[in-house]
Amino acid sequence: MDSVTNHKINIVSQNKTWLFVPATRIDRVAKAFASGADAVIVDLEDAVAPEDKADARKALQQYHDSADYQPIWLRINRAGSDEFIKDIALCQQMPNFVGVILAKAEQISDIEKAYQGTGLSIVALIESAIGLYHIDAMAKVSGLVGFSYGFLDLCNDLRVQVNTSAADIVANQIRYQLVLTSKVHELAAPIDTVYPDFNDEVGLNARVQLWSQMGMSGMLCIHPKQVLRVKQSLQPTEADIEFARRVLEEYEQSGQAVFKIDGQMVDAPVIARCRQLLGYLLTK
């Protein structure tokens, strides 16, 4: 992997909050950045009706060329569609996008067409059984920097009933597959799907704890109020921070590979985890 690609993957991994803005509401982009979102995605796909896509592209072009432009990601329509071709042409006129979120990615050629057409970093959205089945093959394609997924679309395709224990099992299996594939192919850790109820703080916090503990890198957000809540949920507790500091202090002072802190056995994996935690805090 070349250094440029590795740098792009690292940038994606650092983005914890990815906030969607409909391309029909370009006026909301500034507010999206003001919310503290790490990445803003302007959506030309599901959030825009077919009859509104042409006007949305014009508005996006005007924003891109304005003095107010801030680097955004663009969600484009699925490969093979007429709208995809129009989106690729749009990207070729706008070189300052950060990257592309490719909707409904299903096969190698989808990634290849998006990357060859735009030259931009690609995050593939997995939204079908076929796409999920082909993630290992797609993970090898140049230009791909990471995966996310659309859980409701996947549930519809797999005939999984949402908001059930069965759906939770399937969701965690999807997360695991994406985490494993991304790690093996040295991509950014995957981005979790949206949490639809933006007024449910308790549920959102539980979701953030789940995907972060599973090794995912961030989350798609559909409302600005979710951004701060996600970031707050990711903050380690004071007890976690203090434990990590004591572990590293003891390790540096004693040089022992195995020791105890507060009755808890500490060895190489625990030390590595503590370093990750304190290293994360230094980047904040």
The per-residue DSSP string of 54-90 comes to HHHHHHHHHHHTSTT----EEEEPPTTSHHHHHHHHH
Name the token pair of 128: 């079908």
| Mean pLDDT lowest among 88-92, 139-143, 198-202, 250-254 | 250-254
pLDDT at 282: 65
d(CA 19, CA 227): 7
Q: Is the pLDDT of residue 129 over 80?
A: yes
Say how many residues make up the chain.
284
Contact between residue 247 and residue 271 where contact means Cβ atoms under 8 Å apart: yes
Determine the average pLDDT of the residues in 273-281.
79
Place of tokens 């997360």: 175
CA 28 to centroid of chain Cα atoms? 20
75 - beta bridge partners? 43, 101
Contact between residue 71 and residue 98 where contact means Cβ atoms under 8 Å apart: yes
Name the token pair of 79: 């490969």
Q: Is the pLDDT of residue 57 over 90?
A: yes
Q: Is the pLDDT of residue 6 over 90?
A: no
Give the single-character DSSP code of 159. T
| Mean pLDDT lowest among 86-90, 104-108, 125-129, 245-249 | 245-249
pLDDT at 262: 86
Determine the average pLDDT of the residues in 158-185.
97
Q: Is the pLDDT of residue 283 over 70?
A: no
Q: Which domains are delineated in the chain?
A: 3-234 (3.20.20.60), 238-283 (no CATH)
Q: Is the pLDDT of residue 163 over 80?
A: yes
Determine the average pLDDT of the residues in 69-86.
96
pLDDT at 2: 72
Contact between residue 57 and residue 90 where contact means Cβ atoms under 8 Å apart: yes
Residues 6+ apart with CB under 8 A from 236: 277, 280, 281
Helix (H, G, I), strand (E, B) or coil at 46: coil
| Mean pLDDT lowest among 8-12, 138-142, 158-162 | 8-12
